[in-house]
Amino acid sequence: MTPQPLIALVGNPNAGKSALFNALTGARQKLGNYPGVTVERKSGRLALSDGRPAELVDLPGTYSLTPTSPDEQVTRDVIIGKQQGERLPDALILVVDATNLENHLRFALEVLALGLPTIIALNMVDLAARDGLEISADALANALGVPVIPTVAVRKKGLEPLLEALTTHVDDKGVPDRPELKGLDFSARRAKARSLTRIAIIREAPSRRMTQAVDKVALHPVFGPIILLGLLFLMFQGVYAWSEAPIAMIEGWAEELANLATALTPDGYLRSFLVDGVINGVGSVVVFLPQILILFFFILMLEATGYMTRAAFLMDGLMAKIGLSGRAFIPLLSSFACAVPGIMATRSISDPKDRLTTILIAPLMTCSARLPVYAVTIGAFIPARSVGWGIGLQGLVLFGLYVTGIIGAMLAALLLRRTVTKGQSAGFLMEMPKYQWPRWQDIALGLWQRAIIFLKRAGGIIFISTIILWVLLSFPKPPAGSDMSPVDYSAAGRIANGLNVIMEPIGFNRDISLALVPAMAAREVAVSALATTYSIDAGDDEEKLEQSLGQRLKNSWSMPTALAFLAWFVFAPQCISTIAVTRRETNGWRWPAFMVGYLFLLAYIAAGITYWTAVALGL
């Protein structure tokens, strides 16, 4: 049996490749990775005009076949048949932006020189018309000797003729076994692209009026930063305010599920495993899905409209001061919800050292999982009084913790750029695409894919780590008649007692050490772990059992201990998912190990300084 034809989509960044990919494949997409590199492989099925199925692969956008990043390397290697894990495509769809013809044709000429069967999708002809550009696809086709099909990917226009042309060309037998990079040199291609543009353009007017009008406001020296701040404020408000209802809903489902499991299973290991381990453990992570989706909605919208590059442009000056570029702003912003998508978003940073630095400081952005820990501790120890001008002391402390994280990240970046990630800054050179109103289907598809990735992770690594922690907390059981509590006797309890030798100097007690062990899975687990510890401690004492966790903390911890605990969580890498995603994105254990080491060291020093300062002040 002959395999399905493989068709690859190639083009410059911002040519509308992804929109065309979505339009051609619909929701039938598969996300994966190329072996050995952290470049996403996006593929999907499409039906050719004669009904045959074919596989379409969306290659990363590139400006030329001389790669400057791992993404661009993959594109080049696939279309010359040298990419591991991918066969040579049977045909190419070359996406060309009609509004930026000259620049995109130069790349097109480089690809056409390979000699693979190629169809050109002359995309965004509607925007070209809006800009007053009239282009003859026939003239271009005659000059280039390949079919040129006008398309509007976001409106699904021109797809039928594109598929027809593809169907007749996919069987061309002229495919070279090993296409070689050859043909004209750079400036000759440029000159040829220019003359081709003259042939193709029938009529033109000054460019990009709409985009330039929007930029006049969005990039205004005064209003630009104000608009950016306003959007960020809206985003954080949205992440916290709009997620309350769906989070309560998910918590309700988890509770019902736990009740159901309790009713259906006999008291014992199985019930404890299902309820305490699986449902509560995985459930405590799945509740973050609404926040992550709201955050991604904002990020996908900002990206699809073209505003994200403007945000990077506005922030570049500030980022340059800490040795990074404006591009790092986007992943760091995502990390306020969760460092995992933030670290994944660093893929758009082409300079490896810029990217590594951004990954290493991303966990210092206060993520949403720290909020439960902060909320409980602040509620118990910081008096709810006003400091004047209507500002509450509790809110001020919370804000201070966020700011401490940001300052910590800036100092860490400065230090890292001078030591382990030393090197010339790659600077900031990027294309500012035109503004576009996104198709809601594309946004919905993006959100769906993020949700699946997140849930798969919750079902995978978090599920497994939860089981391990449950086992450590449940075994070995104390022998009958022992006066030790089951938690103290368990493996996790013994680890905590050992750990406490190290943690005592910074003001932590055994209960905190115990909570820090399961909190390695996810930071918010610290809260439930403390709750469990103190409820076991209470035993049958009814008066103690009725106390809230806050009251119990207040009775058992001193003020310096509580402040040290808060300082610890600003820095500590208490999250297995972050460590796992860092391993995946850096291809090894070296950098996650370094990250964990430096963050624990920072956390230890920060908690110690906080504790001893507070003790000295007599708090």
In whole angstroms, how close is the CB of 202 to another protein at the nearest point? Answer: 14
187 belongs to the binding site for another protein (CB under 8 A): yes
* Nearer of residues 278 and 430 to another protein, judged by Cβ: 430
In whole angstroms, how close is the CB of 443 to another protein at the nearest point? Answer: 24
428 belongs to the binding site for another protein (CB under 8 A): yes
In whole angstroms, how close is the CB of 337 to another protein at the nearest point? Answer: 26
In whole angstroms, how close is the CB of 207 to another protein at the nearest point? Answer: 5
Q: How many CB atoms lie within 10 A of CB 57?
A: 18
In whole angstroms, how close is the CB of 102 to another protein at the nearest point? Answer: 6
Residue type, 144: L
99 belongs to the binding site for another protein (CB under 8 A): yes
Residue 86 structure tokens: 């991918």
In whole angstroms, how close is the CB of 149 to another protein at the nearest point? Answer: 21
Residues in the chain: 619
Q: How many CB atoms lie within 10 A of CB 383?
A: 7
Segment contacting another protein (CB under 8 A): 27-35, 203-211, 542-550, 606-614?
203-211
In whole angstroms, how close is the CB of 74 to another protein at the nearest point? Answer: 17
Please measure the distance between the N-terminal and C-terminal CA atoms of the chain and give it in whole angstroms: 78
Bridge partners for 9 per DSSP: 58, 93
Q: Which of 222, 263, 480, 616 binds another protein (CB under 8 A)?
A: 222
Segment contacting another protein (CB under 8 A): 15-23, 250-258, 307-315, 602-610?
307-315
66 belongs to the binding site for another protein (CB under 8 A): yes
- Neighbouring residues of 584: CB distance < 8 A, sequence distance ≥ 6: 38
Contact 361, 463 (CB under 8 A): no
Residue 454 structure tokens: 């997140």
Q: CA separation (Å) from 88 to 77, 80, 82, 145?
A: 9, 7, 8, 22
594 belongs to the binding site for another protein (CB under 8 A): no
* Nearer of residues 311 and 367 to another protein, judged by Cβ: 311
221 belongs to the binding site for another protein (CB under 8 A): yes
11 belongs to the binding site for another protein (CB under 8 A): no
In whole angstroms, how close is the CB of 88 to another protein at the nearest point? Answer: 25
DSSP letter at 453 equals: H
Q: Which of 27, 47, 181, 191 binds another protein (CB under 8 A)?
A: 191
100 belongs to the binding site for another protein (CB under 8 A): yes
Burial of 267 (0-12, 13-18, 19+ CB in 10 A): exposed
334 belongs to the binding site for another protein (CB under 8 A): no
Contact 150, 122 (CB under 8 A): yes
Segment contacting another protein (CB under 8 A): 210-218, 239-247, 482-490, 511-519?
210-218
305 belongs to the binding site for another protein (CB under 8 A): no
Bridge partners for 53 per DSSP: 47
Q: What x-and-dash track marks residues 136-175 binding another protein by CB under 8 A?
A: ----------------------------------------
326 belongs to the binding site for another protein (CB under 8 A): yes
Closest C-alpha to 425, from 348, 331, 323, 350: 323
How many residues bind another protein, per CB under 8 A? Answer: 46
DSSP letter at 540 equals: T
CA 521 to CA 462: how far, in whole Å? 7
Segment contacting another protein (CB under 8 A): 63-71, 143-151, 275-283, 479-487?
63-71
Q: CA separation (Å) from 552 to 73, 373, 610, 619?
A: 57, 15, 22, 19
Segment contacting another protein (CB under 8 A): 142-150, 214-222, 458-466, 595-603?
214-222
Contact 10, 78 (CB under 8 A): no
* Nearer of residues 99 and 561 to another protein, judged by Cβ: 99
Q: Which of 40, 102, 134, 251 binds another protein (CB under 8 A)?
A: 102
212 belongs to the binding site for another protein (CB under 8 A): yes
64 belongs to the binding site for another protein (CB under 8 A): yes
In whole angstroms, how close is the CB of 13 to another protein at the nearest point? Answer: 10
Q: b/e string for 226-251 if b means 16 or more Cβ within 10 A?
A: ebbeeeeeebbeebeeebeeebeebe
Q: Which of 118, 309, 348, 533 binds another protein (CB under 8 A)?
A: 309
254 belongs to the binding site for another protein (CB under 8 A): no
Q: Which of 48, 175, 232, 426 binds another protein (CB under 8 A)?
A: 426
Reading across the β-sheet that carries 40-47, which strands appear in turn? 29-33, 40-47, 53-58, 6-11, 91-97, 118-123, 148-150
Q: Could you write out the DSSP letters of every residue in 315-369?
A: HHHHHHHTT--GGGHHHHHHTTT-HHHHHHGGGG--SHHHHHHHHHHGGGS--TT
User: Token pair 């990419």 is at which residue?
Assistant: 83
In whole angstroms, how close is the CB of 500 to another protein at the nearest point? Answer: 50
Q: Which of 432, 467, 499, 538 binds another protein (CB under 8 A)?
A: 432
In whole angstroms, how close is the CB of 436 to another protein at the nearest point? Answer: 14
CA 141 to CA 395: how far, in whole Å? 64
CA 362 to CA 581: how far, in whole Å? 12
Bridge partners for 41 per DSSP: 32
Q: Which of 256, 431, 504, 541 binds another protein (CB under 8 A)?
A: 431
Residue 225 structure tokens: 């930063």
215 belongs to the binding site for another protein (CB under 8 A): yes
Residues that bind another protein (CB under 8 A): 63-64, 66, 68, 99-103, 106-107, 186-187, 190-191, 194, 197-198, 204, 206-208, 211-212, 215, 219, 221-222, 224, 309, 312-314, 316-317, 320, 326, 424, 426-432, 434
